[in-house]
Amino acid sequence: MPPEAAPRAPFGERLAAVRAARGSLCVGIDPHPALLAAWGLEDSPAGLERFSLAVLDAVGPVSAALKPQVALYERHGARGLAVLETLLSRARDAGVLTIADAKRGDIGSTMQAYADAWLGEDRPLAADAVTLNPYLGFESLRPAIDLARETGRGVFVLALTSNAEGQLVQHVGGDSSVARSIAHAAAAENRRAGGAGHVGLVVGATIGDAAHRLGLDLAALNGPILAPGVGAQGAGTAELRAAFGDALPFVLPTSSRAILAAGPGAAELRAAAERTRDELA
């Protein structure tokens, strides 16, 4: 019989090691039809695969993680999901961390199935981490939170997004806001698990002082904070400092279009990622 594989190190530890070696930039892989066209590629599974693997090869070695936007693969049906499987497998072989931006959330056995799909051992879509939607209640995410801990993977829970509509839910309650309750629950989960946290939050890079106004103690999370909105959406170093304050060391600033627009040349893509990474350091 083949030797049993060694247990995977906890996600928080693996992420910390990669950040120490490559910096904190997370690059989103967002194969929008317009980007595919700009690269001279068809809006097809074949174009999707060429785009995805080119991004992996060019920027994977200089990024903390890659974040494929799952919806842009799902729109191509089964063949699109097959491309995502290939991307995740190739990234794993290359030692590049992946965060599947799937935003899943449900209850009971359905949530267990989502957890198994994105975080289970030997599952074709398993990533190093997955984004989750907590608006059926934070505890509804329990199957994914527990499985992530067991398999050395992570979750990123939507907490405070920068879209205007999000305020109608996330800001409700003022200093006892929904967003604050989510952040508090995530921090408590990390305290119970010990070590570097496997439960992260998604907090938009362009939220301004919203976290402070709503009383979120993001530094107490002891886990990673995924911060989309860098680059094309307007966030830079100043915006990150304003939004996160003393929690900034936990932040994974995320840029997609501003970097991807530099393609399809590998050298140009890598240079754009390195420039963004260095500007945010």
User: What integer pLDDT is reported at residue 231 of this predicted model?
Assistant: 75
Sheet arrangement for strand 65-68: 65-68, 26-29, 251-255, 225-230, 199-203, 154-160, 129-132, 99-104
Q: Which position has the higher pLDDT, 50 or 164?
A: 50
Catalytic site residues?
103
Above pLDDT 70, what percent of the chain?
Answer: 98
Average pLDDT, the chain: 94
- If you average pLDDT over residues 126-150, what whole number do you get? 97
Angle at CA 35, nearest 5°, toward 31 and 37? 115
Domain map (residue ranges) of the chain: 11-280
23: CB partners within 8 A, 6+ apart: 62, 63, 64, 277, 278, 280, 281
User: What integer pLDDT is reported at residue 211 of this predicted model?
Assistant: 92
Nearest one of 148, 227, 159, 136 to 190, comparing CA atoms: 148
Range of lowest pLDDT (97-111, 147-161, 165-179): 165-179
Answering whether pTM is above 0.85, one says yes
- If you average pLDDT over residues 261-275, what whole number do you get? 97
Over residues 200-247, the pLDDT tens digits come to 999 999 999 999 999 999 999 999 999 998 876 777 888 999 899 999
Above pLDDT 90, what percent of the chain?
Answer: 86
Specify the residue for token string 């107490």. Answer: 220
| Max Cα-Cα span within the chain | 58
For domain 11-280, the CATH architecture is: Alpha-Beta Barrel (3.20)
Over residues 55-111, the pLDDT tens digits come to 999 999 999 999 999 999 999 999 999 999 999 999 999 999 999 999 999 999 999
pLDDT range class, residue 15, cuts 50, 70, 90:
very high
Classify the C-alpha dihedral 199-158-82-270 as positive or negative: negative
User: What integer pLDDT is reported at residue 195 of this predicted model?
Assistant: 76
User: What integer pLDDT is reported at residue 254 of this predicted model?
Assistant: 95
User: What integer pLDDT is reported at residue 1 of this predicted model?
Assistant: 43
For the chain, the C-alpha Rg in angstroms (whole number) is 18
pLDDT range class, residue 2, cuts 50, 70, 90:
very low
